[in-house]
Amino acid sequence: MRLSTKSRYGLRAMFDIAYNSGSMPAQIQDISRRQQISPRYLEQIFQNLKRAGILKSKRGPKGGYCLAKSLDQITVLDILNATEQDILLVDCAGATTKKRKRKAECPFEGKCITQSVWEDANTLLNQLFSGLTLQTLCQRAHDMGIKKETDHRVMYYI
């Protein structure tokens, strides 16, 4: 299994929003700078995440991107499903769905012992990814000592 850059960058960007922005909208240029991801590529990824209902945007000078759900409700699996076409180790494992069609019928369909191995592995991966939330990732970052960046737009008055 090899995840695309959309998935890897999408997960990093969602973590960045969760960890650094809190309840304030995060601006694309800040996420891009911190995560070293092209702003144009982030915009493409964010369209998929918005379509999936886990990210929302706000226009205007104080706008940006923010999470559509709470940290403990957004799983790694949600993000990967929004950015990947499939999350499968091999093409022959897993049932066909509306979203996923097999490229070709396997000549060993129903008589291949390894197909059940790949299906078990897919099940375990999905359980792992669905058990990890953005809250889990933020806690891990805190435990690792990763510093939060404060928002540049905050103004202080004396």
- pTM, two decimals, is 0.84
**Coil, strand, or helix at residue 29?**
helix
Position 98 scores a pLDDT of: 47
CATH number belonging to domain 5-144: 1.10.10.10
Among candidate residues 26, 1, 8, the one with its CA nearest the CA of residue 16? 26
Q: Give the tens place of pLDDT for each residue, 39-84.
A: 999 999 999 999 999 999 999 888 899 999 999 999 999 999 999 9
Q: Could you tell me the residue ranges of all domains in the chain?
A: 5-144
Return the H-helix or E-strand segment holding 64.
Answer: strand 64-67
